[in-house]
Amino acid sequence: MEHVAQHSDPHYDQEASKMGMWLFIFTELLLFGGLFIVYAIYRFMNPEAFQMAGKELNITIGAINTIILLVSSMTIAMSTSSLQKKNKGLTVLLLEITIILAVIFLINKYFEWGVKFDHGIWPGSEHLLNDLGKGEILFFGLYFVMTGLHALHIVVGLVIIVVALNKIQKGTVNADRPSLLENAGLYWHLVDLIWIFLFPLFYLIH
């Protein structure tokens, strides 16, 4: 009877929720797809400058962040499976691991950006405008915009995951009502996918 009551809830429509998330993901792909096209055009116009500027980025940190996001995608996917199997404790643990990994990613990005700021490299800085060429300015402009936008998506994803975790602990998200966690997983996989493109474009360009 409880199972029937949960699905008879007029405010719960799992398919509509999924469709809404897929539409949102599509718009996000269009946004980043446009930025990738802009990047490709400017890189084609300034190949040597982009290669030189790319050497300023720390490949090790970029690689570590790539591994972090890949592992976090795995843990949130496993949390969805564990929720379907009605293993609440494991679901909560996996989501907590996902959150920790996301925070570590942001901390790494904070220190990476901090190093650039210490070197006088940020949008509109005197060093960037006076000492570097047009190609380098374009490279770092795209770097800060695209990685900054991605970091913002990480923060949004964190909020969604925290909300899902809270509702799982309260029991309002469960095996019969998993759409919030599933949507959080879809969004997080999008964040991971975007970084998979950003990492080689900026860090491995040289």
Domains belonging to the chain, first-starting first, are 15-203 (1.20.120.80)
* pTM, two decimal places: 0.88
For the chain of 206 residues, list the mean pLDDT of each consecutive stretch of 10: 43 74 92 96 94 92 96 97 95 98 97 91 83 90 96 96 96 92 96 96 87
Q: Which helix (H) or strand (E) holds 100?
A: helix 88-118
pLDDT of the residue at 86: 94
For the purposes of burial, counting CB atoms within 10 Å of the CB of 118, is it exposed (0-12), middle (13-18) or buried (19 or more)?
exposed
Q: What gap in Å lies between CA 58 and CA 116, rounded to an integer? A: 10
The answer to whether 168 and 95 are in contact (CB under 8 A) is yes
The answer to whether 12 and 174 are in contact (CB under 8 A) is no
pLDDT of the residue at 126: 85
pLDDT of the residue at 19: 87
In the structure encoding, which two tokens stand for residue 20, read together? 């809404």
pLDDT of the residue at 18: 81
The answer to whether 137 and 94 are in contact (CB under 8 A) is no
